[in-house]
Amino acid sequence: MADSSFDIVSKVDRQEVDNALNQAVKEISQRYDFKGTNASISWSGEKILMQANGDERVKAILDIFQSKLIKRGISLKSLDVEGEPQLSGKEYKLFASVQEGISQENAKKVAKAIRDEGPKGVKAQVQGDELRVSSKSRDDLQAVQALLKGKDFDFAIQFVNYR
């Protein structure tokens, strides 16, 4: 019998991120505490730009955006906020980006966790920006998924291509 396998990936649905961003724009435009503050959130190339006339307001915009991401089922681990709000002219700006793919270093961490704590006979191999886990037993694969769900990695993971 052939090995069963699944892939561990870190992907984000761009449309859902865009929907969360649009919902945040709508809430910012309607909220009383943002009236007349030039507060905004928008795409700036591949990054998300949040700006307002105070650093606390920029942090509030980030908080709104994060709550919208959570409601849309996107892990906050895939949102990479770049430091503290920076003063640029009269406005404070904050950039954030959406991380996709598992880096080689993070893939090695996951593979090591599977080797050390997972069932025997389970193989994990890095393939580009994803990780393929294979075994003769489907039960072992499900045990690996349960193990990884219990771990707290600093990046989001999903399981796909289960066969």
Instruction: Render pLDDT for 4-25 as a digit per residue (tens, 0 to 9).
Output: 888 889 889 999 999 999 999 9
Residue 68 vs residue 151, higher pLDDT: 68
Task: Kindly report, as residue ranges, where domains of CATH 3.30.70.990 are found in the chain.
Answer: 12-96
Domain 2-9+100-158 annotated CATH 3.40.50.2300: no
Task: Kindly report, as residue ranges, where domains of CATH 3.30.70.860 are found in the chain.
Answer: 2-9+100-158
CA pair distance 19, 69, nearest whole angstrom: 9
50 contacts 96 by C-beta, under 8 angstroms = yes
Residues facing residue 125 across a β-bridge: 132
Return the SS3 of 131: strand
Residue 21 vs residue 149, higher pLDDT: 21
Region 106-130: mean pLDDT is 88
**What confidence category does residue 26 fall into, taking pLDDT thresholds of 50, 70 and 90?**
very high
Region 99-124: mean pLDDT is 88
Which sign does the torsion angle of CA 38, 39, 40, 44 carry?
positive
**What confidence category does residue 3 fall into, taking pLDDT thresholds of 50, 70 and 90?**
confident
pLDDT value at residue 58: 94
pLDDT value at residue 2: 62
CA pair distance 127, 26, nearest whole angstrom: 40
The residues, ordered by sequence, that sit 6+ positions from 136 with a Cβ below 8 Å of its Cβ are 1, 3, 4, 121
Confidence check: pLDDT of 67 > 90: yes
Percent of the chain exceeding pLDDT 70 equals 99
E strands in the chain: 4-9, 40-44, 47-52, 79-81, 86-88, 91-98, 123-127, 130-135, 158-160
51 contacts 96 by C-beta, under 8 angstroms = no
Confidence check: pLDDT of 138 > 90: no
The β-bridge relationship of strands 4-9 and 158-160 is: antiparallel
Q: Which fold has domain 12-96?
A: Alpha-Beta Plaits (3.30.70)
Region 137-143: mean pLDDT is 88
Mean pLDDT of all residues in the chain?
90
pLDDT, tens only, 48-61: 999 999 889 999 99
